[in-house]
Amino acid sequence: MTPGSDPDRRPQRVRVTSPRTSAARARRLSIASEIDAQTQLGEVYVTSLMRSQLRLALGVVAVLVLTLGALPLLFRLVPGVGRATLLGVPVPWILLTVCAFTEILLLGWAYVRRAERNERDFSDLLENR
């Protein structure tokens, strides 16, 4: 008690609060909402997915170019292959039809599987954050 105060009177209560109670709290946004809002972070995630898909596509094209693109070189360096026949069908025709189409189908199948895996990994990343 302070001198000169009324002894029957109780001191008034004072409520103490943090000055930041009314401050806006930082909400943690999900990656999906970052992408939807087109923020810089969302752009980084989408760019990352696009880059991985592009890298996959370039890899598939590189394999295709190296294998099918090497056939003319093979025919030029080994002329016997260009003149050979198998069951009455010229070997170049077999290589350019059966083998090439089989390779294209297999590369396409592998590309789709890997592209879907990239997208699935990206979706898992969105859900786990």
- What's the pLDDT at 55? 96
**Higher-pLDDT residue of 11, 6:** 11
User: First CA to last CA across the chain, in angstroms?
Assistant: 56
Q: pLDDT tens across 38-52, in order?
A: 667 767 778 888 999
Residue 81 is classified by DSSP as: H
Mean pLDDT for all residues in the chain: 81
Q: pLDDT tens across 8-33, in order?
A: 778 888 877 766 655 555 555 555 66
State the pLDDT confidence band at 114, using cuts at 50, 70 and 90.
Answer: very high
Beta strands in 29-88 (DSSP E): 85-86
Distance from C-alpha of 33 to C-alpha of 18, rounded to nearest angstrom: 31
